[in-house]
Amino acid sequence: MTGKPLIVILGATATGKTELALDAAQAFGGEIVGADSRQIYREMDIGTAKPTPEQRALVPHHLIDLIPPDGDLSLANYQKLAYAAIDDIHARGKLPLLVGGTGQYITAVIEGWSPPEVSPNPALRAELEAFAAEFGWEQLFARLLALDPDVQAFIDPRNVRRVIRALEVTQATGKPFSAQRQKHPPPYRIRQYGLTMERERLYERADRRVDAMIAAGFVDEVRRLLEQGYNRMLPSMSGLGYRELAAHLLDGIPLSEVITLTKNATHDFIRRQLTWFRGHDQGILWQNSETLNRNALKAEIERWLRES
């Protein structure tokens, strides 16, 4: 087996990825490369379940706190940053661990996608967002299908942001979005570990985490963002709980109601994450978070590293 090693730890939200990654990184002199599309934003810590300062002091973390809440990071730019971080970690003789729950980020890195480098078009995005708000995601997706029927195989029509990006790229290049998804696998030897647990147990765990975020000051975090002038419709604010809590603060929706909405949205998000990972499962070694023997897993990783 050839290539420098890359450990991937993936899974739905609330499965315990951070704790396992910290344990493995400390055991093998590793550093963590984040694969979370919400943890890239600065000032958004509680609702994104970012590693704490204490956790980051234990193990170096990369690709966290990259841009402000009104910033934009394309998939192509994320991928470049991820490869640069992984190569830098290798160059220093350390073990990189790609860790997160954003399936698109992880798949783009390990499969070597070549995402189209099309700059955002704010005017077009605003037009398409308004169209989706008025006519629904179904009609927005229909517009994309009319231009590129093949996207049905890999784009969730309810993911409005991704549908808008596909329309943006298609209109800018004049080529179907699906035809621009070339792959050039990176020169790494990759081992993927996926964390999972029984679905209802996972929902319960996610619900407890939402309650813990509220207790930790999630409402105040959203209030500070709004007071700084960040609009609730920003892509960053589509992270779980942010837009819901903005409705509490700006529209007077009762806190108990928005907490319930956030929990339900989290359940939906977990289902979408698991659907993605099932559809892009190329040798993921699934582990039950509740019965996982970390020492046995670390012994298995150690054997795999010796094979290189």
DSSP states of 108-164 as a string? HHHHTEE-------HHHHHHHHHHHHHH-HHHHHHHHHHH-GGGGGT--TT-HHHHH
Tell me how far CA of residue 2 lies from CA of 222, 254, 280, 303, in angstroms: 47, 56, 23, 15
Q: What is the pLDDT of residue 26?
A: 97
Q: What is the pLDDT of residue 128?
A: 95
User: Is residue 118 pLDDT above 90, yes or no?
Assistant: no
Per-residue pLDDT, averaged over 116-136, amounts to: 90
Tell me how far CA of residue 169 lies from CA of 39, 76, 117, 144, 154, in angstroms: 25, 12, 8, 11, 16
Measure the CA–CA gap between 255 and 240, rounded to whole angstroms. 15
Task: Give the N- to C-terminal CA distance of the chain in Å, as an integer.
Answer: 6
Among 13-17, 35-39, 117-121, 199-203, the minimum mean pLDDT is found in: 117-121
User: Is residue 283 pLDDT above 70, yes or no?
Assistant: yes
User: Is residue 287 pLDDT above 80, yes or no?
Assistant: yes
Q: What is the pLDDT of residue 179?
A: 82
User: Is residue 154 pLDDT above 90, yes or no?
Assistant: no
Q: What is the mean pLDDT of the chain?
A: 95
Measure the CA–CA gap between 304 and 294, rounded to whole angstroms. 15
Tell me how far CA of residue 135 lies from CA of 122, 131, 145, 202, 293, in angstroms: 20, 6, 16, 33, 49
Measure the CA–CA gap between 292 and 37, rounded to whole angstroms. 26
Per-residue pLDDT, averaged over 175-179, amounts to: 87
Residue type for position 199: R
Q: Tens of pLDDT along 60-104?
A: 999 999 999 999 998 999 999 999 999 999 999 999 999 999 999
Q: Tens of pLDDT along 241-282?
A: 999 999 999 999 999 999 999 999 999 999 999 999 998 998
Q: What is the pLDDT of residue 116?
A: 77
215: how many CB neighbours lie within 10 A of its CB?
10
Q: What is the pLDDT of residue 2?
A: 72
Find the helix packing angle between 199-215 and 218-227, rounded to 10°: 60
Q: What is the pLDDT of residue 308?
A: 66
Between residues 155 and 43, which one has the greater pLDDT? 43
- Token pair 């765990």 is found at 205
Per-residue pLDDT, averaged over 4-10, amounts to: 98
Measure the CA–CA gap between 164 and 202, rounded to whole angstroms. 30
User: Is residue 234 pLDDT above 70, yes or no?
Assistant: yes
Is 11 within 8 Å of 195 (Cβ atoms)? yes
The pLDDT > 90 percentage for the chain reads 87
- At residue 114 the predicted structure's pLDDT band, cuts being 50, 70 and 90, is confident
Query: Which residues, at least 6 apart from 191, have a Cβ–Cβ distance to it below 8 Å?
Result: 5, 6, 7, 8, 285, 301, 304
20: how many CB neighbours lie within 10 A of its CB?
22
Q: Nearest CA to 30 among 93, 106, 77? A: 93
Q: Which domains does the chain have, with CATH numbers?
A: 4-114+184-216+263-306 (3.40.50.300), 122-180 (1.10.20.140)
What is the DSSP pairing of strand 113-114 with strand 182-183?
A: antiparallel
Residue 183 DSSP class: E
**Cα 72 from chain centroid (whole Å):** 14
